[in-house]
Amino acid sequence: MIVIHGTYRSRATRPVWLLLEAGVPFELRRVWQAYRTDAPEGEEAPENTRSASFLALNPMGSIPVLTDGGLVLTESMAIALHLARTVGGGLGPRDGAEDARMQAWGFFAATSVEEDALAIRGVYDRGQDATEEGRAEAARRAEALRRPFGALEARLAREPFAEGGRFTVADILVAETVRYAQGHAAALEPFPALDAWLRAAQARPAFQRMWAEREREPLRP
């Protein structure tokens, strides 16, 4: 049985979305982020990223973690790419060239998009969009995203999906990083093809199922 250790309010959404798309059974075994718990190292604490049992799986103390038989795998993008190859069917690569390009899309999302997009989400999560400093930070980060978003816009203006002419793990990895900037309208307004692609991806039944679970999950245990 494939087990994803983590929460829906984490990067676990990447492999979870893929598994739901593929129709593959799995268990999400909840491991809370330590900052979301009271006294995470206390005797009564729920399983969290500082629990000794979890640190035995991932000494870095980050979620998600995949366990499947004897395999223990960390890092959400590595997990999603592994699952795409092994159980993902058409979501995964058809040959070595596609495999390389799908990995490249994952690295692109992680290195060119995630930091600035996540910073934008942080501004809104903390309510700082109501302050001059917060709005300036969001604007600065949106400006930094113009180059990668521009590259995505050019691609998606001529192709319906990121890779292979079909919905794949590449779309999941990129969409789940671009999503972090989605709450800041100015970040996506100049990029209509990117915005339409993102909304179409989020309209897929598997994303909707994953998002519904995320919304049901409490902020704290």
Q: What is the pLDDT of residues 134-182, one digit of tens each?
A: 999 999 999 999 999 999 999 999 999 999 999 999 999 999 999 999 9
Bridge partners, 29 (sequence order): 5
Whether 169 maps to a domain, the answer reads: yes
Instruction: Residue 84: give its domain's CATH number.
Output: 3.40.30.10
Residues 6+ apart with CB under 8 A from 1: 25, 26, 27, 68
Bridge partners, 67 (sequence order): 3, 72
Instruction: Residue 138: give its domain's CATH number.
Output: 1.20.1050.10
pTM of the model: 0.97
Q: Are 141 and 116 in contact (CB under 8 A)?
A: yes
What pLDDT does 182 receive?
97
What pLDDT does 148 receive?
98
Q: Are 206 and 20 in contact (CB under 8 A)?
A: yes
**What is the rounded CA–CA span in Å between residue 30 and residue 46?**
9
**What is the rounded CA–CA span in Å between residue 83 and residue 78?**
9
What pLDDT does 80 receive?
98
Same domain, residue pair 83 and 22:
yes
Same domain, residue pair 101 and 175:
yes
User: Using 50, 70 and 90 to split pLDDT, how confident is the model at 110?
Assistant: very high
Q: Which domain holds residue 16?
A: 2-90+208-216
Whether 13 maps to a domain, the answer reads: yes
Whether 221 maps to a domain, the answer reads: no
- For tokens 């709450």, what's the residue? 183
Whether 175 maps to a domain, the answer reads: yes
Which two tokens mark 170? 């590449």
Same domain, residue pair 41 and 70:
yes
Whether 74 maps to a domain, the answer reads: yes
Same domain, residue pair 8 and 98:
no
Same domain, residue pair 145 and 164:
yes
Computed over every residue of the chain, the mean pLDDT equals 97
**What is the rounded CA–CA span in Å between residue 17 and residue 91?**
11
Whether 76 maps to a domain, the answer reads: yes
Q: Are 29 and 5 in contact (CB under 8 A)?
A: yes
How many CA atoms lie less than 13 Å away from 1 in the CB half-sphere?
8
Same domain, residue pair 14 and 71:
yes
In the chain, the number of structural domains is 2
Same domain, residue pair 78 and 12:
yes
Same domain, residue pair 21 and 49:
yes
Q: Are 70 and 138 in contact (CB under 8 A)?
A: no
